[in-house]
Structure 1
Amino acid sequence: MLSILIPTYNTDITDLVQSICEQARRAKITFEVIFCEDASYLYIEKNVQLLGNTNVKRLINATNLGRTATRTNLAHNATYSWLLFLDADVALPSISFIENYVSHLNSSHDIIHGGISYAIDNNDDFTLRSTYGTQRETQLAKKRCKTPYFVISQNILVKKEAFLKLNIIASNRYGLDNIFSYQILKQGYGVQHIDNPVIHHGLEKNDVFLKKSIQAIETLIYYEEKGLMAQDFTRLQKSYLTLKKNKVVLIFKVIISKSLKYIEKNLMGKKPSLFLFDLYRLHHYITLKENA
């Protein structure tokens, strides 16, 4: 028995939900699909057509709560003890996607992470997000197991009881996967990584992704200050602590400050460097921590 939950905002999810239902029926399981319109104003009428399927239910947020709070709302309304969270802007690359998860419903682990993949996109407006996704987020389970607590929540199977304890943040912020991942470690839940990815289609333009990356750093520092996030959990934090240990934080900041325009030009270009992207984010992390 499985509850498949989709937070959505201004997204046509008809193809995704139809694929899910077809696969779930083939898997011969008891299931429900619940989607929550997070104060959407586009594609409402199209998505409503899905309610002709008795397995599909809809929730509506009167105001935009964001993905994290919407997931909590979905979880509370779910019937079954296993929850499969999928983002609205993904597609299922495999006809056995649901069956692959069903085979893990008797797992001793509390969380099953299937991973994520990206379709090739040669549009110059999306090169930064596409490069980051394909080089950093697209990883086989074997590699993800080396840092098991890091999950991308676009595609996770999780026990309802565990999720409600882990998803403790209700604010509408970007970058909350780091907080969720840290809570997995802190609360001692087990994660099993498998190769069962979705395809992420909803890419942000270069400038939007860069802005959101800075917002994610603000989120990280905010929850550090709140005591809900360790200061040495992410790669970014560890890089800062290395600079601090070697007493070169100021030197690093001065050097990168002089190169910011060049770095931003590269990140907006056809071949963005993730090395420069890391330096750019580290510079902002240092600056924001100084002002925290």
Structure 2
Amino acid sequence: MAGLSILIPIFNREVSHLVHSLRVQLSDWPGPAEIRLLDDDSAEEFRVQNRPLAALPRVFYQELPANVGRAAIRNQLVARAEQEWVLLLDNTSQVPDGQYLARYAAALGQAPVLAGGVRYASQVPAEPALRLRWLYGRQREARSLAPRCAAPYDQLLVNNLLLKKEILERFPLNESLRGYGHEDTKLGWQLAAAGVPIHHLDNPILHAGLETAAAFVQKSEQAVANLARLLREDNLLIKSSLTQTAGRLRRVGLAAGAQAALALGEPLLRRNLLGARPSLRALDALKLLWLLREGGGR
């Protein structure tokens, strides 16, 4: 029977609850199964908390001596995986219920790539600093099954993605994209170009780790820089409202004026995002400013 390697990169987070929740479901997989954890140079306090996981049966825990980033650590986990199928999870994940692995096992014959989706808690965080990340997750990442099936390669998330190991060996994540964002965008484009089938199913993982608005704004700016690099260097045809808006502005000669106007409003936009009632429109405006500065858009 096909084996499963669950791959979880760790950075400054304690993951024992996630690991124990997954371990009790390993018997639902119709073949050998393992959990592989790789720490990306976390602070010592988190390493101390996670090291005891190495003593658990079918759990393999290792630490890297230096931080390598989101794409590289996943590629290293794939290289260490011993089974035919690999399940990519973030260290912020939380298993939704006791049938999570069983639902994936039942879908194995559908395609070589299975995407389960992600969801966020329904309640607004009490801490204002966490509301921007929660709002973005609820409105932009937690897509229902129908739109995911309609555009199976768009907005692909490497969190909660089950696929054959050989596919990631053929299409490793782009390690030149440092920091946060869009290594999964390129993977989706590569799978589409190669005609690799993707089957979306309703098996969402719960995103349980919200970062502060300040941290998320910084990561979002890094993601736009990565997006511009993909557009510039890899010539990817990434169709999104952001790239299309920037492209239209350039074609009609309004990019410079729009950039100047957005730059004037940047302090107010940032203030909104860091406040108690953030607006995703403010984030979209900042992303457009960053992409215009990077010279991206079609």
Same fold (TM over 0.5): yes
Q: Within the alignment, does 1:182 sit opposite 2:189 as a pair?
A: yes
Distance in 2, Cα, partners of 1:103 & 1:39: 36
Match of 1:265 in 2: 271
Q: Give me the TM-score of the superposition, normalised by structure 1.
A: 0.92
Q: How far off its partner does 1:113 sit? A: 0.9
Distance in 2, Cα, partners of 1:222 & 1:126: 29
Alignment of 1:226-245 (within 5 A): 226-227=233-234, 229-245=235-251
Match of 2:252 in 1: 246
Match of 1:50 in 2: 53
Match of 1:286 in 2: 292
Distance in 2, Cα, partners of 1:28 & 1:178: 31
What's the CA shift string for 1:62-116, capped at 9, x where partnerless? Answer: 2111121111111111111110011111101121011111112222x22111111
* Segments of 4+ moved more than 6 angstroms: none
Q: Within the alignment, does 1:71 sit opposite 2:77 as a pair?
A: no
Distance in 2, Cα, partners of 1:111 & 1:282: 32
Over aligned residue pairs, what C-alpha RMSD do you find? 1.8
CA gap of 1:161–1:268, structure 2 versus 1, over 3 A, is same
Match of 1:159 in 2: 164
Q: Within the alignment, does 1:212 sit opposite 2:214 as a pair?
A: no
Q: Within the alignment, does 1:128 sit opposite 2:135 as a pair?
A: no
CA gap of 1:230–1:26, structure 2 versus 1, over 3 A, is closer
What's the CA shift string for 1:121-162, capped at 9, x where partnerless? Answer: 231011211111111111111121232112111110011111
Contact 2:117 2:143 in 1 (8 A): yes
Q: Which of 82, 91, 95 is the equivalent residue of 2:94?
A: 91
Contact 1:118 1:138 in 2 (8 A): yes
Identity among equivalent pairs (%) = 28
Contact 2:225 2:290 in 1 (8 A): no
Counterpart residue type for residue 219 of structure 2 = K
SS of match in other structure, 1:3: strand
Distance in 2, Cα, partners of 1:146 & 1:186: 17
Q: Which of 139, 144, 149 is the equivalent residue of 2:143?
A: 139
Q: How far off its partner does 1:231 sit? A: 4.7
Task: Please say which of residues 13-22 and 120-129 is displaced more in the overlay.
Answer: 120-129
Match of 1:106 in 2: 109
Figure out how many residues of one structure are paired with residues of the other and give that number.
Answer: 288
What's the CA shift string for 1:215-274, capped at 9, x where partnerless? Answer: 1111112233322x5154333212211222333223322332232222222111222111
Q: Within the alignment, does 1:34 sit opposite 2:36 as a pair?
A: yes
Match of 1:222 in 2: 229
CA gap of 1:276–1:45, structure 2 versus 1, over 3 A, is closer
Contact 2:28 2:101 in 1 (8 A): no
Counterpart residue type for residue 275 of structure 2 = G
